[in-house]
Amino acid sequence: MHRAIKIFLLFALLALHFQSAQASSEDQKAYGVAKQNACLGCHAVNKKIVGPSFEAVAQKYQADSNAQVFLKNKIAKGGAGSWGVVPMPANAKLSDADLSLLTSWILRGAPNKNQN
């Protein structure tokens, strides 16, 4: 019985480690997409620059089930009004996959071990 529990715990720890490594890899990729597309010129992870911090965006939309769709549209088409009068330029060249990766990352508070 104890051996079965030890084996179960070992597999559980391995699964948790794999999920953590996968999330970290996706976070790094999303950070790279943000950096390559000049998002970090106006947004930071934890402080307002021209636009709100990614953490503030995550907090604002945490209870909104349509947040990812809304943010994908906002990033792709740009616009103003959600955070004030300064317009956000469109980023129409991003693929749907990159938009999904980026918005998912932002809605998690933009975790990244190499934050500025």
pLDDT digits (tens, 9 = 90+) for 95-116: 999 999 999 999 999 997 554 4
25-107 to CATH, choices 1.10.10.10, 1.10.730.10, 3.20.20.210, 1.10.760.10: 1.10.760.10
The pLDDT of residue 1: 59
Domain positions in the chain are 25-107
Q: pLDDT tens digits for 48-86?
A: 999 999 999 999 999 999 999 999 999 999 988 889 899
pLDDT at 27 over 70: yes
Phi-psi region of 53 (alpha: psi -120 to 50; beta: other; left: phi over 0): beta
The pLDDT of residue 115: 46
User: Half-sphere exposure of 41 toward its Cβ, with a 13 Å CA cutoff?
Assistant: 6
Annotated binding-site ranges = 39, 43, 88
Annotated binding-site ranges for heme c = 39, 43, 88
- For the chain, the straight-line distance linking the first and the last C-alpha, in angstroms and rounded, comes to 49
The pLDDT of residue 112: 74
The pLDDT of residue 8: 60
Residue type, 67: A
